Every structure is written in structure tokens, then in C-alpha cells.
């Protein structure tokens, strides 16, 4: 798979905490057998209720870097959430922290999710609001986000970062390589043999 070292684009400021996956993609849109078409429903109910929601703002329509607060993606394990964001056009998320299942789902999809300090997010978010065309780069090789003449430090668990920058974020191929070891481990677990050993 391709190596993902950085994402460059314009931003979408959604600097709120605890954005849950039900808000990112309401459950009724999970009635599907394919992820196709989820993009247009990203944040649908929030957009409906809040005309000023950034996903309603044409100035951010081409934004590919989502900026949010703490505990982004909390709630359900639905991969439909990062799938919807990705299909909307989001290619990277910068937030104060992420719910773990959401984070894992992003990595599986090759969407870098990096953590930044709250004060840095506030500044970044304000910079995007004042200039929606501002170019932002999320660099997971150097672990920084750059915009204008600013560079803010970001963090990302090494396992996910390493997988993305080395192009090994298709975990399935790696997991498949170890069939013998998998069977060996299974053989040591008493319940796998129904406690017959």
C-alpha cells in the first residue's frame, strides 16, 4: 500500500469536544451493505440543526483536514464514521484526543489521526476560520502540522505512525503472514481444545 507521510490541503474547523460517531453518521445511514454513498450524510443531523456548521459552509467544502477537540469519535465502533468523513473528502484529522476504536478505524483506512495541544488547536482553528484557503500540512513523518509560518508539534502512537509512513497500514497482509504462529498460539489455549488436554 502507499506510504502516507503527509497530507496537505485546506482545513475544516470543528473545534468541539466529544463529537460522537452518532453525530458523524447517524445510525439510520448504517442500513447498508456497502460504504458507498456515506459521504454525503456526514454530520447530516448536525448540519440540519445548525446552519453555521462547518460542513454546511462552502468555504470549507474542499477542506481535507478536520480540526476538532478532545475525545473525537467517541461512542460506537462503526467504521461508517471514518468512512463517511473520508468519502466527504477528509484525509486527516487533528484533534486533542481520539476515542480508541475510531482511531484504529482511521488507521485501517489510511487516514492519519494526530493529537495536538488544545492551545495549538485553538490557534490553528482560528487561522482556518480567518482564511479558509490557508494551506495546512499534516506531516506524520516529522510529527508536526504546518500552516503559514507556524509549525505545531503533534503526537501519534508509534505503531500506527510507523504503519502509515512505511505503507504497511494494510494490517491484513501482515496478519495473514503468520498463519503457523496463529495456529501455534491457538494450540496453547485450553479453551480452544475444549479443555480436553
Binding site for another protein (CB under 8 A): 16-18, 20, 22-23, 26-28, 30-35, 45-46, 48-49, 70-71, 74-80, 82, 97-101, 104-105, 108-109, 118, 157-160, 162-163, 166, 168, 171-172, 174-176, 178-179, 181-182, 184-186, 188-192, 194-196
Angstrom distance (rounded) from CA 140 to CA 174 = 21
Q: Is 28 exposed, middle or buried (0-12, 13-18, 19+ CB in 10 A)?
A: exposed
CA trace torsion 118, 127, 41, 74 (10° rounding): 0
Nearer to another protein, 82 or 132 (CB): 82
Smallest separation (angstroms) from another protein to the CB of 190 = 5
In the bound complex, what is the minimum distance in angstroms from residue 35's beta carbon to another protein?
6
Rounded to whole angstroms, the Cα distance separating 186 from 167 reads 29
Q: How far apart are CA 35 and CA 164, in angstroms?
A: 22
Rounded Cα–Cα distance for residues 72 and 106 (Å): 12
Cβ closer to another protein: 45 or 120? 45
End-to-end CA distance of the chain: give it in Å, rounded. 42
Give me the least distance between CB of 6 and another protein, in Å please: 19
CA nearest neighbour of 44 among 85, 74, 9:
85
CB 72 within 8 Å of CB 93? yes
Rounded to a whole number of angstroms, the minimum distance from the CB of residue 147 to another protein is 22
What is the closest distance, in whole angstroms, from the C-beta atom of residue 150 to another protein in the complex? Answer: 21
User: Cell 490557534, residue?
Assistant: 123
Amino acid at each position: 500500500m502507499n506510504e502516507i507521510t503527509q497530507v496537505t490541503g485546506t482545513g475544516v474547523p470543528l473545534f468541539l469536544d466529544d463529537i460522537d460517531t452518532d453525530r458523524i453518521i447517524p445510525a439510520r445511514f448504517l442500513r447498508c451493505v456497502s460504504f458507498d454513498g456515506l459521504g454525503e450524510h456526514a454530520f447530516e443531523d448536525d448540519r440540519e440543526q445548525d446552519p453555521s456548521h462547518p460542513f454546511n459552509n462552502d468555504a470549507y467544502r474542499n477542506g481535507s483536514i478536520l480540526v476538532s477537540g478532545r475525545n473525537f469519535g467517541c461512542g460506537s465502533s462503526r467504521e461508517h464514521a471514518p468512512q463517511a468523513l473520508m468519502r466527504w473528502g477528509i484525509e486527516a484529522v487533528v484533534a486533542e484526543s481520539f476515542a480508541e476504536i475510531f482511531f484504529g478505524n482511521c488507521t485501517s483506512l489510511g487516514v492519519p489521526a494526530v493529537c495536538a495541544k488544545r492551545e495549538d488547536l485553538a490557534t490553528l482553528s482560528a487561522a482556518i476560520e480567518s482564511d479558509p484557503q490557508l494551506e495546512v500540512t499534516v506531516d506524520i513523518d516529522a510529527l508536526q502540522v504546518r500552516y503559514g509560518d507556524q509549525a505545531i508539534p503533534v503526537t501519534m502512537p508509534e505503531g500506527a505512525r510507523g504503519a502509515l509512513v512505511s505503507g504497511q497500514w494494510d494490517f491484513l497482509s501482515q496478519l495473514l503472514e503468520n498463519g503457523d504462529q496463529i495456529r501455534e498460539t491457538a494450540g496453547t489455549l485450553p479453551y480452544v481444545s475444549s479443555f480436553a488436554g
